[in-house]
Amino acid sequence: MGKQPYVCGLDAAVDVIDGKWKVLIIWALNHQRCRFGELRRLVPGVTEKVLTQQLRELEADGIVHRESYDTKPPKVEYALTELGDELNTALGPLGAWGKRRMAALEEAGQG
C-alpha cells in the first residue's frame, strides 16, 4: 500500500498508478484476463522483474486479482478487480487527452 495521509483524491490515485508501467498494465487488462506472458507482450519494453513487481503492488492496492490454478503446468491469470475497472474507466479521459496531445505534437513536428 502507498503513502498516507493523502492531500487530496488525486494524490491517492497517483500513488496507485505511479510510474510508467502500472497504467499500461491496467490498460492491457481492460476487460480481459491475461497470463504473465500475454501481459509481457501487451506491455512492450517491460522486464519480467519489473512486471512482477508492478503486478504485486497493484495486487496489494486491490487493483489486480491474481488467480492461481492447480494444473500441470501451473497456470496463473491476472485480471482487474472492480476497483481496477473503476480506475481504468477514470483513466479513459486522461488517455483521450494524451491522444490529442500526441496529435498536436505530431502536427507541430515534435512527435
Whether the pLDDT of residue 110 is over 70: the answer is yes
CA 73 – CA 44 distance, rounded (Å): 25
Q: Does residue 41 register a pLDDT over 90?
A: yes
- Stretch 50-68: mean pLDDT: 96
pLDDT in tens, 67-107: 999 999 889 999 999 999 999 999 999 889 999 999 999 88
Half-sphere exposure of 16 (CA within 13 A, CB side): 21
Dist CA 79 CA 63 (whole Å): 9
Does residue 46 carry a pLDDT above 70?
yes
**Position 2 confidence tier, pLDDT thresholds 50, 70, 90:** low
Q: Which residue has the higher pLDDT, 111 or 5?
A: 5
Amino acid 3: pLDDT: 63
DSSP per residue, 39-62:
HHHHSTT--HHHHHHHHHHHHHTT
Query: Does the pLDDT value for residue 13 go beyond 90?
Result: no
